[in-house]
Structure 1
Amino acid sequence: MKDLIQIDGEEKTMHTLANLYQKVWGLKDHQSIYKNFLKHTTYEGYKGLAAENREGEIIGFAYGYTSLPGQYYNSLLIREFRSEEKEKWFCNCFEFVELLVDPLYRKQGYGRMLASHLLEGINHKTAILTTQANNHAAQHLYRQLGWQVIKEPFFPNEPSEPFVIMGKERTEHS
């Protein structure tokens, strides 16, 4: 297993991430995926990591940023909470946007490594993410890393499969 690398917004790297995302999700619109990934690198608090295999190929990545009003997903998430919950979860929050590992490299610790290291050095009070309600493997991983389900079901779009919203509060040790 190789070390993690920082995602820096470099064009070639961003195209590689978009290609991997397309491959895993079976999507066709490379250009809009690429543009979204690139746009997210400009968001406040952005942090991105990629895992490489022994040959130096990117086989997984994770990224997130400070969750702020006006961002697309922040707007979807925040409407799901009462005002006291909004204050707790969205005041000084890191939005864990994406964790993706090539299926050929799953169950080898890459997802755990990416998810763990992404939050290192983050000074936000909370972190929040979403995953599909039926993605039990992802939920299991996140629970092992200290995340909890804070809202279910969550439907980001209509029609949509159900998702769960998971949160993690920063402790003295994290």
Structure 2
Amino acid sequence: MPFDDRRQPMLRPDDQEEYLAHLLAGRRLVRRQFGATCSFGDPPLCKACSTVIMRRARGGRLLEGTYPSCMVLRIIRLDGEQTMARLREIQEVYAVAFPGYDLGDHRDRTARQAAVAGFEALLAEEDGRLVGFAYGLPLRSGGWWSGLDPASSDAAFTAEDGQRTFALIDLAVLPDARGRGLGRRLVSDLLEGRAEQRATLATNPAERDVQQIYERWGWRKVGRVPGSPGETQTEFDLYLLELR
């Protein structure tokens, strides 16, 4: 049967995630744990790549094969201290994804966020080059929802205790790495396994195209809040995704 990436299990070593991935024609992704072997349906062979991956032929025989458009994709999970150690690289991607934003402000905000317990980041590297990242942290207070319009009829909606809601703070992918589902993968991998009940993110109300992407991924808009002094926008549209 054809290979379906969505049905492959996530593999999580204790230290960090390492995937050896091959980008296939038709945007199919073959993924295996670094140093391990997978078996799957009937993909085409590739003569350009020397990496050997197993494929299962009819009758259950295992055949060695490689794949077209081969590129090593590595997804790395970092805590706050590890994130700050790679902030210079992260900011190089940030500057391209968000032109005109203040890198000094981003550095200061990220330093504060990275110090929060439960902060987590994912980096995506293709052939050793950082091409994308996503990171976030648990909400410890209801300040995120301050001034929400329309206000929720349920007073408990905005209650936070550091364990209820994970805030996706930033997601960025370089232009030449877009269109292959990498942004969605970073978000889904970051949220998978989180203990929180729900996730939230803030968007620029003027960037409707960005909002539509999140909506296709299952997020729903819950309202608008004013930005605080010094923030990147004067107001934000907040989105929510149930994790449980």
Both structures adopt the same fold (TM-score exceeding 0.5): yes
Give the deviation of 1:19 after TM superposition.
2.2
Alignment RMSD (CA, Å): 2.7
CA distance, structure 2, for counterparts of residue 112 and residue 39 of structure 1: 25
Query: Which residue in the other structure is 2:168 paired with?
Result: 96
- 1:50-85 per-position Cα deviation (integer Å, ceiling 9, x unaligned): 1112x211111111111113xxxx635333264754
Unaligned stretches of 5+ residues in structure 1 = none
Match of 1:155 among 199, 217, 226: 226
Give the TM-score normalised by structure 2.
Answer: 0.58
Amino acid at match of 2:197: K
Where 1:48 maps in the other structure, the secondary structure is: strand
Report matched runs for 1:123-138 at 5 Å. 123-138=195-210
- 1:103-157 per-position Cα deviation (integer Å, ceiling 9, x unaligned): 22222211111111111111112211111223233222222222100004x3314
More helix by share: 1
CA contact (8 A) 1:7 1:13 kept: no
CA contact (8 A) 1:60 1:101 kept: yes
Cα–Cα, structure 1 residues 49 and 90, in superposed 2: closer, same or farther, change >3 Å?
Answer: farther
Percentage identity across paired residues of the two chains: 23
CA contact (8 A) 1:132 1:163 kept: yes
Amino acid at match of 1:130: A
Amino acid at match of 1:155: P
Indicate yes or no: 2:185 matched with 1:107.
no
Unaligned stretches of 5+ residues in structure 2 = 1-22, 24-72
CA contact (8 A) 1:116 1:145 kept: no
Q: Which of 1 and 2 has greater Rg?
A: 2
Q: Which runs of 4+ in 1 moved over 4 A?
A: 81-86, 157-162
Give the deviation of 1:167 after TM superposition.
0.6
